[in-house]
C-alpha cells in the first residue's frame, strides 16, 4: 500500500501536464544521432535544468528538437517563461534522482538545477498546499542497524530505538534493536579529490535562495475545485529544512522523529539526491516542494490523493516565479 501510494504520488502530477503536450513518436535511434542533436542543442545554451517528477504547464517544446532520450529518460528541450530549459522527469527515489541529475549536468550546457515536486509535511506550523523552499536538506536514510544490546556509533546524528515505540510499552526486548542515522559521503569539485567528506546538511545555493526569498507572499491556489478548498490561503516559506530518504513516510511516529531529531519541515524521496549531485558538480541548485499531505499525521486516508494535484500546481507556480527572478544571461 505504502509503496504503491508512493509510486502513484510520484507519478501523479505527471499525468496532468504531459497530456498538454503531444510529441511525435519519432525516437532518436542511435547514440551518434543523439550526440549530433546534443551538440546542436548545446550551441544554443546555456539552459536551466529542471529535474522533477512532473512538468510545468507553460513549457514550450523546441520546434526542432523537442526532446532527446538518454538512458531511458526523456530530456525535453524548450522554453519556460521565455527562458531556455532542459527538463527531465527523474522518477521516484534517490537513485533515479542522482542518475537523471548527473546525466543532465554531463550532457547539456546547464546553468543550474531547479528541482521541484511534492512532499509530506512534517511541521505542524505548515499546512497542506504550502510550498517549502528549504535552505538545507539532509539524506536521513543512511542507517547503521545494530543489535539490542549494542550501542549505535556515537558519531551517528540520530538514534531510533525501535523497542521504545511499542504500545503499550512492553518489558521484553525488541530484537530489531536500534538504528543510528549516519552521514553521507560527499565528493565535490571544491573538496579534496578522492575524499568523501562526511555531510549531513547539503546547503542550497545561497544566492538562489536569496532570489527565492522574494517569492514569499506570492499567490497560490487554495481550491482543488468549487467544493474542495484548503481552510487557509497557502503560503511559500523559504529557509526551512528538508529530509530525503528512500522511504515513503506515512507514519505519525516516524514523522515526529524526523521533526524532533532533524527539525525538518518536509519529507520526500529525491531532494537531497538532486542537491548533493548538483553541488558535487559545482552547479547552483534549489528545491521547491508543494506539501501534499501530513506524512502519516492524518486521521483516515493520506491527503495526497485529494491535494496532490494542488500541491503540485503550487510548486509549479513557485518554479515559474523563481525562473522569472533569475537574471537573463
* Positions that interact with ligand NAG (CB under 6 A): 123, 125-126, 147, 149, 224-228, 237, 240-241, 263, 265, 306
User: In this complex, which beta carbon is closest to ligand NAG, that of residue 33 or of residue 147?
Assistant: 147
| 3-state secondary structure (DSSP) of residue 83 | strand
User: In this complex, which beta carbon is closest to ligand NAG, that of residue 72 or of residue 172?
Assistant: 172
Report, in Å, the least distance between residue 193 CB and ligand NAG: 35
Report, in Å, the least distance between residue 256 CB and ligand NAG: 12
CA distance 11 to 155: 37
Report, in Å, the least distance between residue 175 CB and ligand NAG: 10
Report, in Å, the least distance between residue 291 CB and ligand NAG: 11
User: In this complex, which beta carbon is closest to ligand NAG, that of residue 225 or of residue 328?
Assistant: 225
Around Cβ 305, how many Cβ atoms within 10 Å?
14
To which residue does cell 568523501 refer?
Answer: 196
To which residue does cell 522554453 refer?
Answer: 79
Report, in Å, the least distance between residue 10 CB and ligand NAG: 18
User: In this complex, which beta carbon is closest to ligand NAG, that of residue 149 or of residue 328?
Assistant: 149
User: In this complex, which beta carbon is closest to ligand NAG, that of residue 111 or of residue 140?
Assistant: 140
Q: Which of 46, 66, 55, 68 is nearest to 116 (CA)?
A: 55
Please give the grid coordinates belonging to residue 186: 560527499
Residues in the chain: 329
Q: Are 133 and 238 in contact (CB under 8 A)?
A: yes
Sign of CA dihedral 201, 204, 209, 215: negative
Report, in Å, the least distance between residue 148 CB and ligand NAG: 6
Q: How far is CA 289 from CA 53, 79, 182, 207, 314, in A?
A: 11, 21, 25, 19, 8
CA distance 324 to 81: 7
User: In this complex, which beta carbon is closest to ligand NAG, that of residue 84 or of residue 255?
Assistant: 255
Amino acid at each position: 500500500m505504502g509503496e504503491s501510494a508512493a509510486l502513484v504520488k510520484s507519478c501523479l502530477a505527471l499525468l496532468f501536464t504531459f497530456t498538454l503536450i503531444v510529441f511525435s513518436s519519432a525516437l532518436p535511434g542511435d547514440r551518434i544521432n543523439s550526440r549530433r542533436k546534443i551538440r546542436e542543442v548545446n550551441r544554443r545554451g546555456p539552459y536551466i535544468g529542471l529535474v522533477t517528477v512532473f512538468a510545468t504547464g507553460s513549457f514550450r517544446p523546441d520546434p526542432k528538437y523537442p526532446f532527446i532520450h538518454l538512458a531511458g529518460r526523456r530530456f525535453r528541450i524548450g522554453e519556460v517563461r521565455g527562458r531556455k530549459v532542459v527538463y527531465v522527469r527523474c522518477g521516484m527515489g534517490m537513485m533515479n534522482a542522482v542518475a537523471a541529475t548527473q546525466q543532465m549536468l554531463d550532457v547539456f550546457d546547464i546553468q543550474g538545477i531547479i528541482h521541484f515536486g511534492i512532499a509530506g509535511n512534517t511541521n505542524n506550523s505548515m499546512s497542506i498546499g504550502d510550498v517549502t523552499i528549504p535552505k538545507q536538506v539532509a539524506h536521513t536514510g543512511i542507517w547503521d542497524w545494530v543489535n539490542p544490546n549494542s550501542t549505535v556509533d556515537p558519531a551517528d546524528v540520530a538514534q531510533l530505538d525501535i523497542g521504545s515505540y511499542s504500545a503499550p510499552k512492553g518489558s521484553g526486548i525488541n530484537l530489531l534493536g536500534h538504528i543510528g542515522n549516519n552521514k553521507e559521503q560527499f565528493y565535490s569539485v571544491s573538496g579534496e579529490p578522492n575524499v568523501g567528506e562526511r555531510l549531513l546538511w547539503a546547503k542550497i545555493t545561497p544566492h538562489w535562495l536569496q532570489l527565492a526569498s522574494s517569492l514569499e507572499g506570492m499567490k497560490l491556489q487554495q481550491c482543488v475545485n468549487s467544493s474542495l478548498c484548503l481552510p487557509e490561503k497557502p503560503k511559500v516559506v523559504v529557509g526551512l529544512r528538508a529530509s530525503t530518504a528512500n522511504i515513503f513516510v506515512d507514519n505519525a511516529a516516524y514523522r515526529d522523529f524526523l521533526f524532533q531529531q532533524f527539525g525538518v519541515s518536509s519529507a520526500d524521496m529525491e531532494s537531497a539526491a538532486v542537491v548533493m549531485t548538483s553541488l558535487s558538480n559545482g552547479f547552483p541548485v534549489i528545491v521547491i516542494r508543494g506539501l501534499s499531505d501530513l506524512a502519516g499525521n492524518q486521521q483516515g486516508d493520506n491527503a495526497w490523493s485529494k491535494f496532490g494535484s494542488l500541491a503540485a500546481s503550487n510548486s509549479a507556480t513557485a518554479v515559474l516565479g523563481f525562473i522569472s527572478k533569475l537574471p537573463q544571461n
